[in-house]
Amino acid sequence: MVLGTTSGAGKSWLTTALCRHYARQGLRVAPFKAQNMSNNARVVAATNTPGTPPPHNHPNAGEIGSAQYFQALAARAIPDVRMNPLLLKPERDTHSQVVLLGQVNAALTAMPWRERSLHVWPHIVAALDALRAENDIVVIEGAGSPAEINLSQSDIVNMRVATYCNAACLLVTDIDRGGAFAHLYGTWALLPPDERSLIKGFVLNKFRGDASLLAPAPRMLQDLTGIPVVATLPLWRQHGLPEEDGVFDERTVSHGLPGAVTTTVAVIAYPHISNLDEFQPLKNIPGLRLLWARSPAELQSLQPTDWVILPGSKQTSSDLAWLRSQGLDAAVCRHAAQQGSVLGICGGLQMLGEALIDPHGIDGNAAGLGLLPLVTVFASNKTVRHTRTQFANTMHGPWRTLAATPVSGYEIHHGQTQPHAAMEQAGDLAHPVLPSALGWQNATGNVLGIYLHGLFEDAAVLQALFAHQLHAPVPTLDTVFDGLADFLAQHMHADVLASLTHAPLPSGR
């Protein structure tokens, strides 16, 4: 199990690297996180049939956190809902939608959060036990810090999980933030003795400089706790793994690969942004600068050849109100009026239309930006599915290179969008570009709205959009996972990695 002294310490990263490391030893590996709080979610199989891929265009699918989805791929396993049995999707500062085993659970959503643990723990245990029975190793990720003593009585994700399965635990801290040794010691000190005994090693993550200068602190910490520092991992910004929490900061993504910037892609970073991890592949496009925009000033220098993206949102009407309060609505519309490229994905598509209508109290009513003659009505049931489809051969404007391009991705949305009937009768038409009401363009072609997430994770789409900028194949996720495992093996001794599991290595290893 990978625990952290804080959120953002590197738990997800290290868990992913461990999954690939053990998978490369020939072991059957699965990731697990009992509870994840994130608006970055992926569609996976509701149940796992060995050797069978997740269903496409099939309603029997569920949601898990993106981190566990990528960890499953790193483990060379088929992602399924048991790997993240409880997903909390924040809608407001004090409210989250609760997803249990892949499905929205209205009763748990309405329940005070401290009362949920009694109801969800049996599901968590059952999921973990099933994964343990089917695999040689389960690599578990904790959440936040295990020393949040105000939460210990209702804990279902950290030390309760660790003690239940007697997990060998690593405790990782972000040394780049400062105070790393105090974080490690303080976390250890706040745990009761039986839980401390499960911690087998400390990991210093994101270190910059000469590691020899850390002495004598690691030895002093071991003298105090009896636990060794088993790895000091250098800071590595360009590892290629999508970020799980929050927007990438300027240091990690804005400038992309070295070289002259020819295209800027500005993603509007509203408060309830979701599925931001799908933009990770854009970091690997030569000449492309990825910008997270929170103010009109950040869009002022855009050229018509640059893009503005309205990404997914967990609370579309609220983020639309925020957009207007910042003056970003006018900036986006101005870029569109100058024939600049505008792309809306899922919630972003809904914002591009004329109106949001919410008869069931799902999201909220709102007027849209009016860049596409569409109306969205929020349904009580959520659409959650994998989708394989193809762009129309009538694609025009700056998106014309996508014409007839096959595409695969996933849908997670309550909204159902259709052309505005009165505007359609008046001749103001939205041009459908994907079947089954999944995408439209405006008349001039520069504004595109789609429901499909994962557009930039599709190799055919990247080739169609950026063939003129790609001098080599964009690194695949598999390449990224191998890089993580190589990095871990370089900085953590093989004996330490072997000691963390009781699973026997395959014969000959």
d(CA 1, CA 4): 10
Cis-peptide, bond into residue 85, ω within 30° of zero = no
Alpha helices in 86-243 (DSSP H): 106-110, 116-134, 159-165, 180-190, 193-196, 217-225
d(CA 62, CA 302): 38
Is 333 a residue of the active site?
Answer: no
d(CA 104, CA 62): 9
Token pair for 268: 């509007």
- SS3 state at 333: helix
CB crowding 6-42: b at 16 or more within 10 Å, else e:
bebbbbbbbbbbbbbbbbbbebbbbbbbbbbbbbbbb
d(CA 191, CA 306): 51
> Cα 79–243–4 angle (5° rounding)?
85
Is 346 a residue of the active site?
Answer: yes
Where are the extended beta strands (E) located within 168-262? Answer: 169-174, 199-207, 229-234
Which among 335, 386, 431, 453 is annotated as catalytic? 453
- SS3 state at 96: strand
DSSP, residue by residue, 43-91 = EEESS--TT-PPPSS-S-EEEEEHHHHHHHHHTT---BGGGSSEEEEEE
Question: Could you give the angle at which helices 477-491 and 66-74 cross, rounded to 10 degrees?
Answer: 80
- What is each CA distance from 133 to 58, 351, 379, 483, in whole angstroms? 27, 46, 39, 29
Asked whether the beta carbons of 340 and 303 are under 8 A apart, the reply is: yes
- What is each CA distance from 379 to 323, 376, 449, in whole angstroms? 24, 9, 19
CB crowding 115-147: b at 16 or more within 10 Å, else e:
ebbeebbebbbebbeebeeebbbbbbbbbbbbb
CA dihedral 320, 322, 325, 329 (to 10 degrees): -40
Token pair for 147: 């020393």
Which among 346, 386, 414, 420 is annotated as catalytic? 346
User: Can you tell me which residue has the tokens 């209508």?
Assistant: 357
How big is the chain by its Cα radius of gyration, in Å?
23
Other CB atoms within 10 A of residue 345 CB: 28
Q: In sequence order, which residues have a C-beta less than 8 Å from that of residue 71 and are 6 or more positions away?
A: 12, 15, 16, 19, 31, 83, 139, 141
Catalytic residues: 346, 453
